[in-house]
Amino acid sequence: MRIPTDPSRRQVAAWLAAAASLAAAPARAASGDGPPLADRLAAYAHALRFEDLDTGTVETAKVHLIDALGCGLAALDAGPVRICRDIALSDGAGAATVLGTDRRSSPELAAFANGVAIRYADFNDVYVGREPGHPSDAIAACLAVAEAERATGRELIASIALAYEINCRLLDAAEVTGRGWDHPVYCLPASALASGRLMRLSPEALTQAVNLAINGHIAMNQTRVQTLSDWKGVADAEATRAGVFAARLARAGLTGPAPIFEGRAGFFKQVSGPFTVDVATFGGEGRPFRISRCGIKPYPAQVYCLTAIPAAIDVVTEAGGVDAVQSLRIDTTHLGYVTAGRDREKWRPTTKDTADHSLPFITARAMLDGAITNDSYAPDRLSDPALLALIDRITVAEDPALTAMQPKAVPNRLTATLRDGREIVRQVDDVPGFVSRPMTRDDVERKFRMNAGKRLDPLEMRRVLDAFWTIDERPDLSGLLALLS
């Protein structure tokens, strides 16, 4: 079935209703009987407007945008962020501002450099479906393309909500980590569709953007096992770069392999296994958007480690100090164990990227310092003798009961055996910023000031915050990112 080049909302709604029956018939979808998933995602993206967003969703999109920019500012001096920024600026010309400067590059390279900054500290937002991910990574693509296309603030907000919806719904649909792939594979269609929507592409061109983005850019999960490299903070930014470039290629008329999900050698067959996605249930027309289920991190650490931090602080406080702890057992979820507690490298992390994905390191550092901050991963903190001695008293195990609590919670349970024979048990299921405990504007501004304090003075920060809280009133984004230079 083909979609009219410029369908009315009624036509799109009718077409989506017919396509929704595929959710109950994966065999028919796999055999080609009905619209492919890429076409259905494209139809949804083409139809979505700012007016379809409720006031709560608009506010939440601003919250995640401001949080992402603060995370990006905090990481500007990191080596990998500088490398990627320098490469983007060497392009010499373009229409999209590179974060931390008043200079511009091409939309795809600006999205790449800004995405690395947003992601690098592992402090940006998180979503936990069957697969965890960081939907705010796509914000870099939305900002770059919106500026280049002279889009309005409202169009930017709608594109952010769209990118989150696509990414999160796919993260809900299938886990790819256990099959050896990396979660940025879902950022590819999200970035391509959000970028293409800002470019005002037709449904057919949006489908081609999805096809092009996915086919040549499937990421391997080696990024997140054993010793973690600089690429851990770059992988999602590469997905956003690929998504923006795919949308540009599709606008020029290039086609991509199809059906990209259901084909004989497509995504289902090669990467995820078969799954169904009911696009008719996506956000809009009174249905909630997935961005409302995304969490804001209170600590710069991998999601499966977050709840271990307050538990660790409680344990050491009750014990009366670290020296009183003879041994510590961390019970965690399946993915918490696989990604942060299984590999031997997690007991002696030599890179910041390994340390912020290490349950032993993060727990021990929190017990010693009473917090986890951006400074917790400095080189001298990695080799601290007191830290290493404490890590050697820690074990990590998977608890199926904790795994069963996902995705509503990401729990960790700490059991400390003290030298006097007492035992202290602390289980924490969520932290401030999670869906059950959302951050307020004041909370988000406090985190932004913490992240941006080394880059902007108080008056500059107030000017930036006011500009982004009212971004939906702006006719275009000219000069907006330059406020952060």
Of residues 34 and 483, which shows the higher confidence score?
483
> Bridge-partner residues for 105, per DSSP?
96
CA distance 165 to 283: 7
Residues 452-475: b if buried by 16+ CB within 10 A, e if exposed: beebbeeeebeebbebbbebbebe
The arrangement of secondary structure in 303-428, i.e. its CATH architecture, is 2-Layer Sandwich (3.30)
Contact (CB, 8 A) for 156 and 144 = no
CA distance 438 to 179: 32
User: Does residue 394 register a pLDDT over 90?
Assistant: yes
Contact (CB, 8 A) for 195 and 139 = no
Contact (CB, 8 A) for 117 and 166 = no
Q: Enumerate the domain spans of the chain.
A: 34-296, 303-428
68-72, 209-213, 227-231, 287-291: lowest mean pLDDT where?
A: 227-231
Contact (CB, 8 A) for 154 and 50 = yes
Amino acid in the structure at residue 311: A
Q: Are strands 325-332 and 394-398 parallel, antiparallel or unpaired?
A: parallel
Q: How many CB atoms lie within 10 A of CB 296?
A: 27
CA distance 470 to 62: 9
CA distance 263 to 211: 11
CA distance 252 to 250: 5
Q: How many CB atoms lie within 10 A of CB 18?
A: 13
Q: What is the model's pLDDT at position 133?
A: 95
Q: What is the model's pLDDT at position 34?
A: 77
Contact (CB, 8 A) for 193 and 45 = yes
CA distance 448 to 160: 19
Cα-only R_g, the chain: 22
User: Does residue 7 register a pLDDT over 90?
Assistant: no
Q: What is the pLDDT of residues 32-44, one digit of tens each?
A: 457 999 999 999 9
CA distance 37 to 342: 35
Of residues 267 and 18, which shows the higher confidence score?
267
Whether omega before 407 lies within 30 degrees of 0, making that bond cis, reads yes
Mean pLDDT of 217-231: 93
Q: Do domains 34-296 and 303-428 have the same CATH topology?
A: no
Q: What is the pLDDT of residues 413-446, one digit of tens each?
A: 999 999 999 999 999 999 999 988 998 999 999 9
Mean pLDDT of 461-481: 95
Residue 255: how many CA atoms within 13 Å on its side-chain side?
A: 4
Residue 282: how many CA atoms within 13 Å on its side-chain side?
A: 31
What does the CA dihedral 407, 304, 400, 365 come to, rounded to 10 degrees? -150
Amino acid in the structure at residue 47: A
Q: What is the model's pLDDT at position 33?
A: 58
Contact (CB, 8 A) for 319 and 426 = no
79-93, 148-162, 241-255, 303-317: lowest mean pLDDT where?
A: 79-93
How big is the chain, counted in residues?
485
Contact (CB, 8 A) for 241 and 227 = no
CA distance 298 to 433: 6
Mean pLDDT of 143-149: 98
Q: What is the model's pLDDT at position 15?
A: 44
The CATH classification number of 34-296 equals 1.10.4100.10
Residue 357: how many CA atoms within 13 Å on its side-chain side?
A: 26
pTM of this prediction?
Answer: 0.89
What is the residue-averaged pLDDT of the chain?
92
Q: What is the model's pLDDT at position 435?
A: 87
Mind giving me the DSSP string for 187-203? Answer: HHHHHHHHHHHHTT--H
